[in-house]
Structure formats: structure tokens, C-alpha cells
Homo-oligomer: A and B are copies of this chain.
Amino acid sequence: MTVAKEIHGLCVRAKAASRAMRKLTHSAKDAALEEIASALESAKEAIYAANAEDVEAAKAAGLSPAMVDRLTLTESRFKTMVAGVREVMHLPDPVGHRIWRRARPSGIVIDKVREPLGVIAVVFESRPNVFVDTAALCLKTSNAIILRGGKEALRSNKALAAAVRAGLAASEVPEDAVQLVTTTEHSAVSELVRAVGLVDVAIPRGGERLIRAMCEAALIPVLKHYKGVCHVYVDEGADLKMAIRILDNSKVQRPSACNAAECLLIHEAVAERFLPMVHKWADKKGVALHFGGVEGGEVDWGREFLGLELNVGVVKDVKAAIAHINEYGSGHSDAIVTANPQHAKRFQREVDSAAVYWNCSTRFTDGAEFGMGAEIGISTDKLHARGPMGLEELTTYKYVVHGSPVTGTVRK
């Protein structure tokens, strides 16, 4: 069978499953999530065994220790993954929620109602837990899902898929609600993102290269973030001790996260006092500083380090800081530390990013911190979803309209 045919078959089955899923009640979906959690627990040994094979092969193939670590399903990661399914189960289901009702002068009554998107394709790398996390979020919102993982995790993903589908088989949800792409051909991804009318949206969870390739091939919408180049700007008159605390949290707490800071901007009026504090902090925490200064220097300003490195620049004022961030940032998360409410307001209005912080760490950009319960990813797009994407962002809406014998026709 060709890759095109194989993917087309998966998509057709997913679409059929998604149609059937429109009839599911909240409790039927929650029961299915519990079945999945139990099935994963029952299949634990088989999943560990498959994962151990993947890990061994990865080591033999000379993959980096970081990649091997991401691939490894430890006991604690497994438990967190299963607990995650039960957490999603307990979240409120947005499907069917009425956003608004309008009685129009024409006599019709319009309900704007939340609906599943339909079929979601998720392409991910390395971490096998993504398979289960995203499947749970999609099921909860009555979406069918097609998953494509990295080839180094194929055995693990197959074992997880078998367990999840065994759980579904014991529920009212069709098994084809969750499908794994098992071909390792690269063209499988382009087939998925060109399946107009079958797949409603693609969500990449991986590096910038994967995402760019998907967008280049795509005929369907792709929800994504290319990268997270987040800034902390320390304004004149800022509480400098607070600034260090916020900088520390933004940079050091989890440097590999997309919401970690990659660039510090300092108002020139406080640079002389603040820079020694920054040096002291950087020495203590092992952060390498790259200085650009007022004129920009040789610094690669748009760089996403994802590690203990930080660009530092001195700017003339809040206006220059905003211009710098809009020029070099990635529209993800940016913070101002200031005691001046006018400066904060201006920064938060003019910086064109998903989340703009006043006296807060950029690390708050996260579904759980925002009260969404769970997230499928973070979007730096502006269409449909911006920032953390939770359950609501996995839905669309429809207009449900009711007329009457005297109101059913358009007059003019």
C-alpha cells in the first residue's frame, strides 16, 4: 500500500469516528477516559518493554543523552501520564456550551454553540507521553485524533496506542477516535496536512524545522509556535531586587521551556546600578551573558538558547524596548519590570505578543497557570488560538438557529 493510500485510509476512518463522536454524552467520554487510564495501567509491562527496546536502539544509534532521556518512560513519567488522563476527565467539557443567544428583530433565535473541530492531526517528536496527553485532550472535546510520533519512539507509541484503543473498545467511543501513523516515511506528514475535508487542523509539537516543513506543505490550518524568544525589560525606577527575582525565574527555573527568557533589556538610566547585580546573579547561576549595548553590537538578538545563556541590551526608554521586542521577539511572552503604571500600560498595549507581563515572570505562560487545566501546546499565531491552548481551543462553534412559521424567511 502506498503512503498516500495508507494515510487517506486513516483520515477517512478518523472522519467517520468524528461524526459518531458528535452523539456522545459528557459522561460517555469520561467513562472512555477512565477505561483508557485502566488499560494503560494493565498494559504497563508491555509498554515498558517496548520503551526499553526503543531506548536501547536509540543508544546503539548514538542519539544524544538528552534525546535518550526524552524518550525514556520512567515509572514516575508513566504515573504522571496516567494521572493526566484522569485529570482531563475531571475538567469541564466545553462541547455544547452556549457562547451566546440572540433573539433577532426578524424573529429568529440564534444560539452560538461550542462544537468539536472534527479530526486533529498531531505530529510530535521523542516524548512518548505526548501520545497519551494529546489523545485525552482531543477525546474530551469529541475530536478524533491521528498521531504521528518520531521513528525512534515507534515501539513505545505502538504499545501506547494498543492500550488506548483497548480502553476505547471497552467504551462507547469508536476505536478509530485514536489512530497512530505507523509508517516512518517522511511523506506521511505532508499527506496528513494536505487532507482537505478530512483533517480539520494539524498541531505540530516539535522543533522549528518540523513546523516549517509542515506549514510549507499544508493545505489545512496549522496551529503552532515556531519558537519562544521571550524578553524581560527592566525600566527606569524599577525595584531592582524584584527585577533580579523575575529575571531569575524567567531564565533559570526551566531554561529549556519555550516561555523562558532569552533576552534582558535594561533602561539606560538604571544600567549602571543594575548591571553589577546582573553579573553577580549570572555568576552564581552559571548564566552566560551576551552583551549588545545601545547600538546593538554583534548579538544575534532573535536567538532562542533554551539553555543558560542570555542576550543583554541597554535601551533608551520603554519605546525603544517595545520596538526591540516587536523586531526580534517571537510574539510569545514578554515582561516589563516597572513601578510606572503608564509605562506598563504602554508596554502591554504595544508589545505584539500572546502574553505581556507587568512585574511577572514570563514563565507564567502555561495552561495550568492560566486556569485552563491542561494544554495541548502554545500558539504564537494570532488566528483561532493565541498563547496556551486548552480544551476550549480544541473546539469551534456553530450557529443553531430556530425560526417559526411566521419568521422563517428573509424579508428584504
Binding site for B on A (CB under 8 A): 19, 22-23, 102, 104, 106, 108, 110, 115, 117-118, 200-201, 215-216, 219, 221, 223, 239, 242, 245-246, 248-249, 253, 326, 344, 348-350, 352-361, 363-366, 369-371, 381-384, 386-387, 396-405, 407-410
Contact = CB atoms under 8 A, between A and B. Distances in A.
Contact of A353 (B384, B398, B408): B398
Contacts of A401: 355-358, 360, 364
A27 to B, nearest CB: 17
A364 B411 CA distance: 10
Contacts of A19: 326, 350, 352
Which 9 interchain pairs have the tightest Cβ spacing? Answer: A360-B403, A249-B409, A382-B396, A384-B384, A363-B410, A383-B384, A355-B399, A221-B383, A359-B403
21 contacts: A23-B349, A104-B371, A106-B364, A106-B369, A108-B369, A201-B382, A223-B383, A246-B409, A253-B410, A355-B399, A356-B400, A356-B401, A358-B402, A359-B402, A360-B402, A360-B407, A361-B403, A361-B408, A366-B410, A386-B397, A387-B398
A153 to B, nearest CB: 27
Contacts of A382: 115, 117-118, 200-201, 396
Nearest to A356: B400
A222 B311 CA distance: 35
A364 B402 CA distance: 11
Contacts of A399: 354-356, 365, 370, 387
Contact of A408 (B108, B201, B360): B360
Contacts of A348: 400
A408 B357 CA distance: 9
A383 B386 contact: no
Given A221-B221, A326-B19, A246 B408 contact: yes
Nearest to A253: B410
Contacts of A358: 400-403
A366 B223 CA distance: 27
A219 B219 CA distance: 9
A253 B408 CA distance: 13
